[in-house]
Structure 1
């Protein structure tokens, strides 16, 4: 006897994909087109036109000749999705459990430093967009708004905090404590930026946003850091430390104005104070620890009550070691191709890491994610969730908070539709069987 379709399989269903399509097409009837392009290539083109040369170099640029960025995209091209027919699933569930908490989708917004290059109050605008779309946001340690201000904009939507391990251990503890007090759901320690990689786009412009006072708001709002700044100022005033040698040029004046504007407090008061310039100098001295070791990371379990996520893992042995020292999750990432030129693609590393760890440990993927189909591929290859980086920054450049919201909506819509057309009712059904090696991919 032939089984009859159930009411659930024949009734109307409007997942996030169809809802997004309907919104765009209904607006089209009125002659309105999306503010943010729905394809990544056009999104990138328009964002570049909307950005200054220094902003574009920092956000879109990569290490060296850009080979790692190209590797990230080529890795996705090596896999092909296999759609399945007549599966009978009318709806999809995009929810995922991470670190003991349920999230509405497997997409988080990645931390991107110095976001104000792409739009003022960048962290707050992104946070409002994250809250509006129910998307978790990983606050950048190199943010342009203090984490407490950004947390207030998140409402009840969960957020994680990224930590760069400073050479000052008391500052490390202070930042962790502030994240806990402000309500972070996890601590994400970035491992792959103990020193800046070779970034020709920035170097050719002589442009480092931190030296202009951008991207150091977590520091200039921190009591431990401000104490270090005042110690530096006092040492210079007493003659115990040499005064910095400053050449008066038009560029130096512009830098001073930027540093003064970004420092907390009134502009005119800051202009007369040595603290803003001392803050930049102090930051450049201590912001990251080149000697970061597994021994440092082992101390985290006694320093925080938050789940610990280690970001920047690419080698299977490092993945295993991360869990050995107490990590609750890892992010397989090559920092968006910004640290080592010619590095392994994050997606390729994900395959090897998942094979080493087995199915149970929580593994996220960062670097190279551009579309909902990319998210599907990453999940099929073993990621529990992904971090979305440059695309949401491009949305910010084009339309602020609304631009970020539209980028998130587009990515989730395409993920939902890809699942619908591939026969996956939930994320558990998105597995290696959903893919085959792409015979059309160039070698």
Structure 2
């Protein structure tokens, strides 16, 4: 079947996955207001295109965290990717490598981080702060030793949000899928009515991160540190003061605080406030190359994609994941040209309007 856009791959993935695994991937927290708002906010932003521009030799290449990428896109961290395909993170990392974009290895990956990193490309490592600080910093060391290029420190998960779909399903990991980077015990596999075993497991393992945690990570690695989950302007400015190389403006895909503002709604204000002091990326709701263009116009240097990449993985393994990135490349190239831009940097000079 020909897939012409990411929505086509979403439908294919929904057909391919068991219902409770689809809910684990697709769901948000609470009433899923923030999950829906991520798309609503993007749909209300309109770009003002420029005309009569020179468009020969246009490119989608961009600099992301100091290195060239084929697109201003990175793959977001997503836990337990063997839920979606037997090869899980290995197939996903190969697809990102072949497409020329960074791939973020999750603390809760279902393949050890060293095995994923050896695939090559541009691996980043996402860190959740654990109750045992030594274990957290050991993960940072392992990531650096494995060749990861950045630490993406997720700061918006002191504990997991109430994800009602998982609770209603009594969701638990199958025995074949584990947290491969550390001994997680049996909690994530214990099925209990009205309880998410994954949330129970993270409640046992995670601790709230603080600015002191950020300082500890920075002192423990030579890698760039990116703080993921920033929404307040004040936190963005403090991240620069704390020495962060970058921030990801994100409400965790609507999976943490239900009612949290969409990242795209804060992006321009945050980008203006940090004024080049660190790189600003956006996460949440990106579904088209046109969405990427909007993020660039509002001040992002790039975006992260999570669920759509998993749709491709579920639909057709490595080939499906690669197709997600190929479709974004085609759509972004088209959107750039129609907006009068011959490059990603030119898109940052576009104006936008917000329809209320």
TM-score over 0.5 (shorter chain): yes
| Pairing partner for 2:177 from 183, 208, 214 | 214
Distance 1:281 1:200, change over 3 A: closer
| Pairing partner for 1:98 from 64, 73, 82 | 64
Instruction: Mark the runs of 5 or more structure 2 residues left unpaired by the alignment.
Output: none
| Pairing partner for 2:206 from 288, 306, 324 | 288
What SS does structure 1 have at the residue aligned with 2:248?
A: strand
- The reply to whether residue 436 of structure 1 matches residue 338 of structure 2 is no
- The reply to whether residue 407 of structure 1 matches residue 324 of structure 2 is yes
CA offset digits 1:14-67 (Å, max 9, x no partner): xxxxxxxxxxxxxxxxxxx52xx2223332222111111121111100111111
The residue correspondences of 1:6-405 to structure 2 (distance < 5 A) are: 33-34=1-2, 37-153=3-119, 155=120, 157-209=121-173, 214-220=177-183, 284=202, 286-290=204-208, 292-405=209-322
1:187 and 1:93 map into 2 onto residues whose CA distance is 28
Distance 1:282 1:317, change over 3 A: closer
Deviation of 1:396 after TM superposition, in Å, equals: 0.6
CA offset digits 1:317-343 (Å, max 9, x no partner): 011111222211110111101111121
* Aligned 8 A contact 2:61 2:72 in 1: yes
Q: Which residue of 2 aligns with 1:3?
A: none
What SS does structure 2 have at the residue aligned with 1:216?
A: coil
1:102 and 1:398 map into 2 onto residues whose CA distance is 29
Deviation of 1:286 after TM superposition, in Å, equals: 4.6
CA offset digits 1:348-388 (Å, max 9, x no partner): 12122112212442100011111110000001101101001
* Aligned 8 A contact 2:54 2:342 in 1: no
Deviation of 1:219 after TM superposition, in Å, equals: 1.1
What SS does structure 1 have at the residue aligned with 2:152?
A: strand
User: How many residue pairs get matched?
Assistant: 350
Deviation of 1:152 after TM superposition, in Å, equals: 1.6
Deviation of 1:285 after TM superposition, in Å, equals: 6.2
2:162 and 2:178 map into 1 onto residues whose CA distance is 19
Deviation of 1:96 after TM superposition, in Å, equals: 2.1
* Aligned 8 A contact 1:96 1:105 in 2: yes
2:338 and 2:64 map into 1 onto residues whose CA distance is 26
Distance 1:86 1:59, change over 3 A: same
The root-mean-square deviation of aligned C-alpha atoms, in Å, is 2.4
Question: More helix by proportion, 1 or 2?
Answer: 1
Deviation of 1:171 after TM superposition, in Å, equals: 0.7
Instruction: Mark the runs of 5 or more structure 1 residues left unpaired by the alignment.
Output: 1-32, 233-243, 253-258, 260-279
1:212 and 1:314 map into 2 onto residues whose CA distance is 36
Deviation of 1:212 after TM superposition, in Å, equals: 5.0
Q: Which stretch has the larger CA shift, 363-372 or 423-432? A: 423-432
What SS does structure 2 have at the residue aligned with 1:218?
A: coil
* Aligned 8 A contact 1:143 1:216 in 2: yes
CA offset digits 1:277-301 (Å, max 9, x no partner): xxx99965652113x2112212222
2:135 and 2:122 map into 1 onto residues whose CA distance is 24
2:9 and 2:154 map into 1 onto residues whose CA distance is 27
What SS does structure 2 have at the residue aligned with 1:219?
A: coil
Deviation of 1:431 after TM superposition, in Å, equals: 2.5
